[in-house]
A and B are shown apart, each in its own frame.
Chain A
Amino acid sequence: MPIEPNARGYFGAFGGRFVPEVLVAALEELEAAMRGAFADEGFWAEYREVLRDFVGRPSALYPALRFLGADASVPLLFKREDTNHTGAHKINNTVGQALLARRMGKRRLIAETGAGQHGVATATVGAKFGLPVDVYMGELDVERQALNVYIMQLLGATVHPVSGGTKTLKDATNEAFRVWAAQVEESFYVIGSVVGAHPYPYMVREFQKVIGEETRAQCLERYGRLPSDVIACVGGGSNAMGIFSAFVDDPEVRLWGVEAAGEGVASGRTAAALGAGSVGVLHGSRSYLLQSERGQVIETHSISAGLDYPGVGPEHAFLKDSGRATYVPITDDEALAAFYDCAKSEGIVPALESAHALAFAKKLAAQRTSDALVVVNLSGRGDKDIAQVRALRERAEVRS
């Protein structure tokens, strides 16, 4: 069974509810509604139906025969979250939260977004369920992800550029919390990862655990055994918690969370909260955090906008400290190399986020033998990253 947080929302020493008083009643209302929904088989039946008919689940568990090279003997499987509607795992969560919002009688959805994937996934369910959506997005990200801004608008959402702080995901999240505080009665805040105040980290994991449940069943059915290793990228960490949660009770399955090292964990230009951060409080929960000695959150860097976040979900902090999962860094350059390799060897253009997990799979496979069974959560497709990768390549060509 996946880990249950305690009554105050703690996974061990991590989690909790560090929010202004104005939000406490809303979080309590949300928690009560969530527990009611989770105990209602009818709620889950509708959730599964939407995932099947709208999202296109179950996603395939695909044997990647060429990515590791012709002479590789280690079996490698991709969990194909990239084939979901809207192109990533994010939609599993927004479907669940939109159903819950409707059940609670909320009339609007609020979301934060960095790269725009969660914003698009929220705008999508807003359109499907007829709920107006306000998306908060840092000004820099609005510029960098113009295509996703347009898609959100096409879906009927209003995108609000956020000009405070670093003008990225952290500040978009601050603003979404503030807006939610002003309209808690009518609005539902759809958080995009396993972060935030209790019950969000737990609730988002429950809406993503379908990834792990499918993977586990597919492995047992097809290979008659569990995987030896499960690899997923970690920014806030929702795709990773989704796939890890089905295996936490199986000590023989090694769990690997891959963080964005950026230019290197010690470079000062990184987003590896677990690898380079320390314990602190951000966005409502206690977890690892990239912060200064004075407790100010510091600016992060990653080639992947979806991993470019100074915090990480509290359950990951717990899995790290308990030793159940191992967190490893992958740099921008390593991820980019894996991005190209995957496109050419498998005919799949992965998201830059997922490319971090792929890069680590290559490293791990070098230490494994043919009796291993390695699963990578291919959390999203790379269409959104094409313009960025192309610009990087053109710049590199000019230099050389």
Chain B
Amino acid sequence: MRLVDAFAARSKRRPAFVPYVMAGDPDLATTEAVVRALARNGATAIELGIPYGDPLADGPTIAAAGARALASGITIEDVLGSVARLAPEIPSSIVLFTYFNPLDRYGLERFARDAARAGAAGAIVPDIALEESEELRAIFALHCIDVPMLVAPSTPPERAVKIAAASSGFLYIVSRLGVTGAASEPDFAPMRRQVAALRAATDLPLALGFGVSRPEHVRAVADDVDAVIVGSALIDALAGTSGDDAVAATERFVSGLFA
């Protein structure tokens, strides 16, 4: 499902829920079961991580999840295989999340085509900032793969407007300086300073991520943004589980987060 449709059709749940899981951690069957559970539990879009060994934007939780997935031999082709099985079944958009080098190596054109055929709605590439993203965005647009771009607390206002204009699917607002992970508290003050200007610059949904991990965080930003992105806290909640245990842990986590 395309992101524009998923956001239009989203339940009354505010803000919309955009979870992140690492594909293949601990195995693809578990990942697929967790994605289905997330979709059943109201996820508007699901970010599916393609593992990379040198993830500069990620903290220890996601880096370790990626290392586990790589150790089990997960490839881009494997992840796209999962997307092809999941996309027809679930009412949520699937957004792939990975770094530039493995995509570049696979071939941007080939990746966009294969991701579109599999049914992915978008791709987030956190290590290409605006200046390096033009070619990738143009190629992905041809295949109807949205590319949500990131705005950070350190992004100057005029640059944030340019990023909003270049983004598609949604706009990813990074809550705080640093990397992904639930270890330190999110800081909503920079986001609140940015939101008004971003609303004026774009009609895209605004999604807040990095450190968003607890129900009080979700409640605190419900009036500011359209969606919350939750990754590391979910991966922590799934630690050591697989199969049905992972599904049960997912359901417990989501009901706790939106309690």
* Binary CB contact string for chain A from 127 to 166 against chain B (1 if under 8 A, 0 otherwise): 0000000000000000000000000000000000000110
* Binary CB contact string for chain A from 174 to 213 against chain B (1 if under 8 A, 0 otherwise): 1001100111110000000000000000000000000000
User: Which candidate, B16-24, B101-109, B193-201, is the interface stretch facing chain A?
Assistant: B101-109
Asked if B54 is at the interface of the complex by the 8 Å CB criterion, the answer is yes
State in angstroms the CA–CA spacing of A179 and B75 once bound together.
29
Known: A164-B60, A178-B59. A22 touches B100 (CB 8 A): no
In the complex, are the beta carbons of A183 and B131 less than 8 A apart? no
Asked if B218 is at the interface of the complex by the 8 Å CB criterion, the answer is no
In the complex, are the beta carbons of B56 and A19 less than 8 A apart? yes
User: Which candidate, A112-120, A220-228, A293-301, A323-331, is the interface stretch facing chain B?
Assistant: A293-301
Contacts of B179 on A, CB cut-off 8 Å? Answer: 20, 178, 181-182
In the complex, are the beta carbons of A20 and B53 less than 8 A apart? no
Contacts of B159 on A, CB cut-off 8 Å? Answer: 24-25
Contacts of B57 on A, CB cut-off 8 Å? Answer: 20, 22, 181
The residues of A with any CB-CB pair to B shorter than 8 Å are 8, 16-26, 164-165, 170-171, 174, 177-178, 181-185, 280-284, 289, 291, 293-297
State in angstroms the CA–CA spacing of A178 and B60 once bound together.
10
Asked if B43 is at the interface of the complex by the 8 Å CB criterion, the answer is no
In the complex, are the beta carbons of A174 and B56 less than 8 A apart? yes
In chain B, positions 58-76 with a C-beta closer than 8 Å to chain A are 59-60, 63-64, 67, 70, 75-76
In the complex, are the beta carbons of B131 and A17 less than 8 A apart? yes
> Smallest Cβ distance from B227 to chain A, in angstroms?
18
State in angstroms the CA–CA spacing of A281 and B103 once bound together.
10
**Contact among B56, B70, B105, B178 with A182 in the assembled complex (CB-CB below 8 Å):** B178
In the complex, are the beta carbons of A295 and B178 less than 8 A apart? no
Contacts of B119 on A, CB cut-off 8 Å? Answer: none
**Contact among B53, B129, B152, B153 with A165 in the assembled complex (CB-CB below 8 Å):** B53
Cross-chain pairs A/B with CB under 8 angstroms, 27 sampled: A19-B56, A21-B126, A21-B129, A21-B155, A22-B150, A22-B152, A22-B174, A23-B154, A24-B152, A164-B67, A171-B54, A174-B54, A174-B55, A178-B59, A178-B179, A182-B177, A185-B154, A280-B101, A281-B127, A289-B101, A294-B102, A295-B101, A295-B103, A295-B104, A296-B53, A296-B102, A297-B101
In the complex, are the beta carbons of B150 and A20 less than 8 A apart? yes
Contact-residue bracket for chain B: 35 or more
4 more A-B residue pairs beyond the given contacts A181-B177, A296-B102, with a C-beta to C-beta distance below 8 A: A20-B150, A164-B67, A178-B179, A281-B101
Known: A20-B127, A21-B151, A178-B59. A294 touches B177 (CB 8 A): no
In the complex, are the beta carbons of A21 and B54 less than 8 A apart? no
Asked if B29 is at the interface of the complex by the 8 Å CB criterion, the answer is no
Contacts of B140 on A, CB cut-off 8 Å? Answer: none
Asked if B163 is at the interface of the complex by the 8 Å CB criterion, the answer is yes
In the complex, are the beta carbons of B63 and A164 less than 8 A apart? yes
State in angstroms the CA–CA spacing of A76 and B132 once bound together.
44
Asked if B128 is at the interface of the complex by the 8 Å CB criterion, the answer is yes
State in angstroms the CA–CA spacing of A183 and B163 once bound together.
22
Asked if B156 is at the interface of the complex by the 8 Å CB criterion, the answer is yes
In chain B, positions 121-151 with a C-beta closer than 8 Å to chain A are 126-132, 149-151
In the complex, are the beta carbons of A21 and B163 less than 8 A apart? yes
Chain B: CB-nearest residue to A163: B60
State in angstroms the CA–CA spacing of A289 and B127 once bound together.
17
Chain B: CB-nearest residue to A281: B101
In the complex, are the beta carbons of A19 and B101 less than 8 A apart? no
Contacts of B154 on A, CB cut-off 8 Å? Answer: 21-26, 184-185
> Smallest Cβ distance from A316 to chain B, in angstroms?
18
Contacts of B127 on A, CB cut-off 8 Å? Answer: 18-20, 281, 284
Contacts of B97 on A, CB cut-off 8 Å? Answer: none
State in angstroms the CA–CA spacing of A165 and B52 once bound together.
11
State in angstroms the CA–CA spacing of A20 and B150 once bound together.
8
